[in-house]
Amino acid sequence: MDISVVVPLFNEAESLPELESWIRRVMTENNFSYEVIFVDDGSTDRSWEVIEQLSKENSAVKGVRFRRNYGKSPALNTGFARAKGNVVITMDADLQDSPDEIPELYRMITEDKYDLVSGWKQKRYDPLSKTIPTKLFNATARKVSGIRNLHDFNCGLKAYRRDVIKHIEVYGDMHRYIPILAKNAGYTRIGEKVVQHQARKYGKSKFGLDRFVNGYLDLLTLWFTGKFGRKPMHFFGLLGSLMFFIGIIAVIAVGAIKLYNMNSGNPYSLVTDSPYFFIALTMMILGTQLFLTGFIGELIVRNSHKRNEYEIEEELLGNENEQI
């Protein structure tokens, strides 16, 4: 099969028939073999009934329905697990992503040999309250991830080699950072394509401003797990050791100053009267706790069944039947 189109959705009953018809037309014109996987994320409208009807009319249409609303990331992960196409396309169900982009996305994966191609909605039909935070968010993501060529990490219109989506796990709200997940898994051939952004035709946006706060927290999580996920002691142990030694040096300094004043006949006070003593003591305690956090993290990693799992792209086995 050439293409799997994965469409997560929540309360998009009005747009689904038009979207399916549009996708079908594009696939037919380009002679693609395909499937469309609609993942209903616990819709409360008639979305599932519409999907059932579309499936009866077109055998390429498949559907998955959640019992309740879990979020876009679980919906994408569920669709990825069921995708059979050599190239997997994701798009939103609100008609803001154009299926006319599919042939070029497919070509970039199959001919230009990209692992992942992300859409860039260079011209957006969104209010400033959404576009300005989005630009700040994407600038931060580029800086932290090192993927300099992407302008829109959160664009729903993306294309993947099937191998990519089978080796990443999209969880929580990590759909915003699928390119970073792919990079952390070793898929570094990441491209971008300027795509058309259309104004929403039906319904309203399902995302609020809280996604920007959650997005930054998720970005920090990805940065940390990508850099220190297999070696937590390198972060916590180093930071804890620095804090502990700075604290113990400060305690020694406070004590030395008191001894000097005592021997010189200068006025002096109890060590515990100095605020620096308690600051130093606090640093020693925090340093010890951070070091122990790294130690416990190493124990957890050591006992993880994935501690020695690595992504292997190619392997040469030679003559397996050769006798030594």
Q: Concatenated DSSP letters for 240-252?
A: HHHHHHHHHHHHH
pLDDT top residue among 271 and 92? 92
pLDDT tens readout for residues 131-184: 677 788 788 888 888 898 898 888 899 999 999 999 998 988 888 889 999 998
Place of tokens 């919906």: 75
Place of tokens 């792209």: 313
pLDDT top residue among 266 and 245? 245
Which of 98, 85, 71, 108 has the alpha carbon at shortest distance from 35? 85
pLDDT tens readout for residues 274-301: 888 889 899 999 999 999 998 888 888 7
Taking the C-alpha atoms of residue 80 and residue 57, their distance in angstroms, rounded to an integer, is: 23
Mean pLDDT of 103-118: 96
Asked whether 39 and 7 are in contact (CB, 8 A), the reply is yes
Instruction: Band the pLDDT of 81: cuts 50, 70, 90.
Output: very high
What percent of the chain is modeled with pLDDT above 90? 50
Taking the C-alpha atoms of residue 270 and residue 31, their distance in angstroms, rounded to an integer, is: 86
DSSP letter for 196, please. -
Kindly tell me if the per-residue pLDDT of 202 is higher than 80: no
Kindly tell me if the per-residue pLDDT of 235 is higher than 60: yes
Domain at 3-228, CATH from 3.40.50.2300, 3.30.70.660, 3.40.50.1220, 3.90.550.10: 3.90.550.10
Those residues with Cβ within 8 angstroms of residue 38's Cβ, 6 or more apart along the chain or in another chain: 7, 9, 16, 51, 54, 61, 62, 63, 64, 93
Those residues with Cβ within 8 angstroms of residue 266's Cβ, 6 or more apart along the chain or in another chain: 260
Q: Which tokens go with 187?
A: 């898929």
pLDDT top residue among 312 and 288? 288
H runs (alpha helix) in the chain: 16-29, 47-57, 72-82, 102-110, 128-145, 162-165, 178-184, 210-228, 233-264, 275-302
